[in-house]
Amino acid sequence: MATLSVTALQASVVQAERQVQQDRVRVSQDSSRLDASQDQLAKDKQKLSDSQRESNQATQSAEKPLPTVNLTRAIENPPRVEQQLPTDLVVPKPQVNTLGQTIGKFINITA
């Protein structure tokens, strides 16, 4: 009978060792998953922080008041210099000869 109990004890020890080994593997896997989850959490926190900062910047830039318009200046006539067109946009006035004809018309008729 002593042999039977020793064999049973050895089987129990072997089963317990297998269980311990399986538990070590699970702990190792859980530890790896925990590390990956913590890394992902850190990335998500950084992304959230960046998004909040961008949102705050967008909100602040949208809330800035527009510059005030000076309506008295808008109604006033600008000085003569500001009213003139640039020289490259000005159409030259036709020149008139002594008969009152424009030179261009005179040239087209005689040619």
For the chain, give every domain's residue range.
2-62+78-110
Confidence (pTM):
0.44
pLDDT tens digit sequence for 52-84:
999 888 877 766 676 776 676 666 676 776 777
pLDDT tens digit sequence for 33-60:
999 999 999 999 999 999 999 988 887 7
The conformation of residue 98, written as its DSSP 8-state character, comes to T
Structure token pair of residue 108? 């087209």
Contact yes or no for 26/34 (Cβ under 8 A): no
